[in-house]
Every structure is written in structure tokens, then in C-alpha cells.
Chains A and B, each alone.
Chain A
Amino acid sequence: MTHLLEVRDLEVKFALRSGDITAIDGVSFTLNQGERLGIVGESGAGKSVTGFSIINLISKPGFISKGSIHFEGKCISDYTGSQMRKIRGNRIAMIFQDPMMTLNPVFTIGFQMIETLQAHRNISKADARAIALEKLRKVQIPSPEERLDQYPHELSGGMRQRIIIAISLLADPAIIIADEPTTALDVTIQAEIMDLLQELCETENMALILITHDLGVVSQVTEKIAVMYAGKIIEFGPTDKVVHTPVHPYTIGLIGSIPGATVPGEELRQIPGMMPTLSNIPEGCAFNPRCELCEPICTQKTPELEEKQNGILAACHMK
């Protein structure tokens, strides 16, 4: 069976004056219809770049240097700009991190919704408006008719993120890529938005790629998890297994640092040190300077991602 989305050996580089820097190094994963995948990692691990490279919107000077991305059986990483445009916002929608900055301040909500629909379908304004209203209702926005004529600055952050979710629903996409959708919001609203996203994916049978640094959020919403470190996936598997029986020392550390995952009263664990910068990744396993289990081989040979136990893939020499 072909997967809905298949990312194979993806490599993304940034062309800098001092030379190319590899931001993503050989990332592969698959996503099936209606499946929810979480990509987890610290900032700079390459999770956002992975998300953006799927719809080929990596910020300059980044570019895909190797690998392929297949969507619905077609290789979209080879698509031209205008072919790709038919995918973006239509088959694959994206939700950005900060709803305060995502909507254009000088246009009304209605304008920004209707133009999205009209970019993908030959549809009248009135029809587009009706669809926009329907989607606003789906994301449980009170008095949606009024919202259409409002400007973004008249709405709260949580409200705006709902509107952005509604915009991504407009064309009934197959995949939604949500890049830290709740990081910029208040804690109370975060849960509401996550619940909404999960519910929508289930009812509409949409696949979700949730990019976040928050393992807690991922564990509640997604079915599979990919943990990224320094541009590589270092652990991949079903969510409950990865959360309860993690393999890679980095994942173990990550889970240990979640409040609530440890026994009450016990100190929260911390991973010592910091993730290396992309221009300065150590030989061998990128995690080796911070790893408790580090052995000579870890500083010489880069570990491959391979099946370790009960369906979890991990990249570690020691396990």
C-alpha cells in the first residue's frame, strides 16, 4: 500500500557565505491517511524545517539538497512553483506558531479566507463566504458572521488561532502541518486548541503532523512520534510505546524532564549541556557529548535508525 505521505532520506542545507550547513540530515518517515504524527525536539533540531520542506517553503537560503517527498503517490519535491501552489493550502495546509503574526493585519478575516478558497477553486465570492462560515462554525467561533468583517487585531490570540485552523480546513486538506500551534498561546487556551485539532482530524479523517517541543502535548494527541536531534530522527515509533518505554538516551532524558512524568517529590531530571549548533555537530552520534552511556564508538560512527524493541526505531549504538 502506498502511504499518503512518504519522506525519504530528506536532506536540507542552508547556503551560507561560510559554506553550506546541513539542517536536516537523512530524515525519513511515512504518514497514512488520518494518522497523527508528532515531531518532537528542541529548537534548532530541524523539526520546523522538516515541516516547511514538505510544502517546499523553506526560508532562504535553505534548499532541499537530497531525498524525495511523495504525496498521494506523486513526487512533490520535484514540483514546480505553480504545481506546488495547488498543493499548499489545498491538499496540505499549514498552521503557524504565532497567530498574532500569521494573519495579515490590513485585511479582514473574510478577505483572507475567501482568497484562499478562490486560489484553489473556481468559486463565487458568496459561495466561498458560505464555506468560510461553515468552517468558522466547525472551529467553534462565536458569531462567525461578525468575525468575517473584523480585522485580526480585533481578536484575541486564541480566537485567531481558531481562525487559522478554520482557514486550513477551507479546502478539506488531506494533511495539516501544525508548527508549534499553541506555543504562543496562554496555557488555558493551549489545551482547547489541541483538543479542537485532534477532534477535527478524527471527524474529517485528516492526517496531522504536529511539530512541537512539548512531549506532553504530543503524547495526548498523536499516534506516532518522531524525536529529532541535530537534524536527524533519533527515535521513531508508536506514541504510547515511545512515551512509556523510550529507547534513545535523549528521549529518556526528554521524558524525564516533563513535570508529572516523574514521581512527585522527586527532582526533575535535566539533560546536561546544550544541543550543538548546526555548523558544529560532533563526529559520530551528535548526542555523544551529553550522553551518559557514551562509548568510544559513539564518537566515531554515526548510528543508524534501526528497530530496537517492540516496534520502536532508534539510532543508538548502546541499545
Chain B
Amino acid sequence: MFAFIIRRIIQAVVVMMVISLVGFSIKSKIGDPVRDLVGERVTPEERAQIADKMGLNDPFLIQYTRFVKQALKGDLGRSFIYNKPALEVIVRHAPATLELLIGTALIIIFVSLPLGIQSALQPRSLLSRFTMSFSTLGVSMPVFLTAILLIYLFAVNLQILPSYGRGETVDLFGNGYWKTGFLTHDGRMHLILPCLSLSSIMLPLFIRLIRSEMMEVLETEYIKYAWAKGLSPARIWMVHAFKNTLLPVITVFGVQMGITFAFTILTELVFQWQGMGFIFLEAVERSDISLLIAYLVVVAGVFVLVNTVVDIIYGFINPTIRIAGTR
């Protein structure tokens, strides 16, 4: 077990090294740290001088080591469009994206569970058939198109929901870092459409997953035995079958939220949502390499961290889960 944890951590470190190496190569090839620092209105001579002072003419490896050292201290370069440290720009925009993900997760949980369970219990009912065919359509629908259709319907035609921005936000900790939209009515109204369109890609998948897992569980001997014990249907479905269904669903849920994160970039563009995806696109459009690389390192770091932690937790649970959970 201990060896497994060490191996897993070493792997995470190696992955981060590779990613930072890729990031740094890109940065040193197309980045322009001098401009990031002093802007474009300097003479070529001054530029050369500053470049020399910043160590931009040092060998690649020395520069890379410096990059890693600074990154470990939390310095990922300077964003010239915001004229702030790149990391700070990302951290300030992260809550907006995180709230999108939270809202999406809530919608997924509260819609896919009842629908998935319902269509497992009554696979032939009209609602189940409707759900299943709708979910095939949902998979084929690109998230940005869903977003545009939702805007067209609710914001342009019906004019009942806002179409862009985060609306009124409240500063959660009083230090300006986390401005939340969950606490105001206006903020929540602004969350609805982006979260709906984000959840539209994952919902079909979850409804199908919950349905098939639940149907599989309902066929097991222990559910039949639960009937033979004289338990009520409600208890058998909502306690026995539910918990067995949930375990595999939760693991998939984690993975899918990671994928949803990628889709936030599209959603944030459509809704002009000032989150991480939005500043990423801004960085691409205006060639803010430092911000771009900082984004790469932060996002990759979060993914690697989450995956590593999840894997290690799994390592702990797995021996029992493997024997008990999956037949």
C-alpha cells in the first residue's frame, strides 16, 4: 500500500515535470517576457538589456530550472493583458468557473437520479422511453448549440432569463477573491442557462448509466432476497438497490466533472462568463503566453492532484469494493 502511494506520487510529479517542460518550451519559443514586463514601447537596445538581465539568454536548462523554482513559489509569470501576476488572474477567475461546475453538478444529480431510477424501474413506461430517446439526442447536441438555443428561447424570445455575464455577485470572504452568484437572486438567474447547457451533455450519459446500473442491480440475488425478506418496495429500491447503484455512478461522476470542466470553456464563451475558460480564450486571442502557460500548469496541476488523490483513496477502498461491489 505504501509502495503504491509512493509510486502514484512519483508518477504525478513526473507528469507535472513533463507538462511544465512542455509549457516552458512553448513559452521560451513564442513568449515575450520583456513585453509582459515593460510593454511594447521600449527601444530594441533597452529590450536586449532587459532580456539579458532577466536571464533570457541563459541556456535552456538553467532557464527551465528557474521557471520550475519560481512556479513552486507560486510565480507563474506576468499576464500583460491584466498587468498582474498570471496566477492571481487565474485564481480570481476560478470561482466563476467553479460555480458553473457546482450548479451543473446539482442539476445533474437532481435530474438524472430520479429519471434514471424511474426508467430502470419501469423501462417500458412512456416517460422512460421519452427519456431514453431524448438522451440519444442530447449526446449528439454540441454544448454551444444548446447554449445558443437556450439563449434564443429564454433570453431573446421569452426574455425571462439573462443571456450573459454573472449578474450581481456577493464577495464571499470579503477579500475580493471569491465573488459568488449563488447568494443573490440575480446571480442565480444568471447561473441557470449556463448550467443548464453544461448539464445537457452529461445528463444523457448519467441517466443511461444510472438506468443500466440500477437494472443490473435489480436482477441480483440480494435484491431478490430482499423481496423474500418481505421488505417494502420503497425500501428495496431506495435503500438496497439505490446504494449499490450509486457506488459505480459516483466514480464516473468524478471523471465526468473533469470533462465538464473542458466544456466550460465553450459555455463561458457563449455566455460571456468571466471564468477561467474566458480568460484562456482571451489569452489565446491576444497572445498572452504567460497567462496561457500559467493556465496550462494550474489546470494540469489540479487534474493531476485530483486524480492522484482519487487513485490513492481507491487503493484503500478497492480490496473491499472489488470483492463486495462487483459480484
Contacts and interface: CB of A to CB of B under 8 A. Distances in A.
Q: Say if the two chains contact directly (CB < 8 Å).
A: yes
B327 interface: yes
A183 to B, nearest CB: 13
Interface string B219-238: 01111111111111101000
B224 to A, nearest CB: 7
Contact of B235 (A98, A103, A119): A119
A262 interface: no
B133 interface: no
Given A106-B247, A153-B320, A98 B221 contact: yes
A107 interface: yes
Contacts of A120: 230
Nearest to B244: A106
Nearest to A98: B221
Contact of B325 (A81, A86, A102, A105): A105
Contact of B230 (A85, A96, A102): A85
B72 interface: no
A167 interface: yes
Instruction: Tell me whether chain B's interface is mostly helix, strand or loop, or mixed.
Output: helix
B232 A119 contact: yes
Given A115-B235, A151-B320, A153-B324, A105 B222 contact: yes
Contact of A101 (B221, B229, B243): B221
A90 interface: yes
Residue among B227, B230, B233 having the largest count of chain A Cβ atoms under 10 Å: B230
Interface string A8-32: 0000000000000000000000000
A55 interface: yes
A131 B101 CA distance: 48
A116 interface: yes
Interface in A62-117: 81, 85-90, 93-94, 96, 98, 101-107, 115-116
B158 interface: no
Contacts of B231: 85, 89, 115-116, 119
A57 B247 CA distance: 27
B264 to A, nearest CB: 33
B310 to A, nearest CB: 20
A89 B236 CA distance: 14
A116 B227 CA distance: 10
B160 interface: no
Given A119-B235, A152-B324, A104 B228 contact: no
B240 interface: yes
B1 interface: no
Given A96-B225, A103-B225, A115-B235, A89 B247 contact: no
The 10 A-B pairs at the shortest CB distance, nearest first, are namely: A89-B230, A105-B324, A88-B230, A89-B229, A101-B221, A153-B324, A94-B228, A104-B222, A153-B323, A102-B225
Interface of B: 220-233, 235, 239-240, 243-244, 247, 320, 323-325, 327
Interface of A: 55, 57, 59, 81, 85-90, 93-94, 96, 98, 101-107, 115-116, 119-120, 151-153, 164, 167
